[in-house]
Amino acid sequence: MLTSDMPSEKDIPDVTEAELAVMERVWSTPDVTIRAIADELYPGGGVAHYTTVQKLIERLEAKDFLRRDNSQMAHRFTAIVGREELIGRRLRAMAEKLCGGSMTPLLTSLVESSKLTAKEFDELRELIDKVSRKRKRS
């Protein structure tokens, strides 16, 4: 009863840890094959490891994270959801769970809780200046 499954967050798919490891290869290698991913994630792995990757790919495809090209016998895969998009989704989910849906408290909390290094502070300041300047022009 305490686990609220509102459609607002439930409908936007995320990836598990193993799926993310697969997506990393899909992002870095264009038209990657299952074999290539398996060889990289499980060096010297057997059939079981190969089909593990296959199952992960199958689930990622079901969640529309990647597209399959089956024109050749060994299928090729391309990312639909990029890293930036995934970051955005997770930030949004986080804002939903922790801040009533607003992204602003995420920023202010980060600043207030002193969880940023001096360097990151400077980066953030610069970023804000840039965006607010750009915002003004429109």
Partner DNA sequence: TGAGCATAAGACGCGGTGTCTTAGGTTGTC
Partner DNA sequence: GACAACCTAAGACACCGCGTCTTATGCTCA
Q: Which residues here bind a copy of itself, judged by CB under 8 A?
A: 1-4, 17-18, 20-21, 41-42, 52, 82-92, 94, 97-99, 102-116, 118, 120-121, 123-125, 127-129, 131-132, 135-136
- Choose the one of a copy of itself, DNA, none that binds residue 40, judging by a C-beta under 5 to 8 angstroms depending on kind: none
CA distance 45 to 40: 9
Residue from 16, 28, 108, 109 in contact with DNA (CB under 7 A): 16
Tokens representing 102 are 């607003």
CA distance 29 to 77: 9
51 touches DNA by CB under 7 A: yes
Residue from 40, 54, 96, 105 in contact with DNA (CB under 7 A): 54
Question: What secondary structure does DSSP assign to 28-46, as a single string?
Answer: HSTTB-HHHHHHHHSTT--
CA distance 63 to 24: 16
- Binding site residues, DNA, CB under 7 A: 1-3, 16-19, 33-35, 47-52, 54-56, 58, 70, 73-75
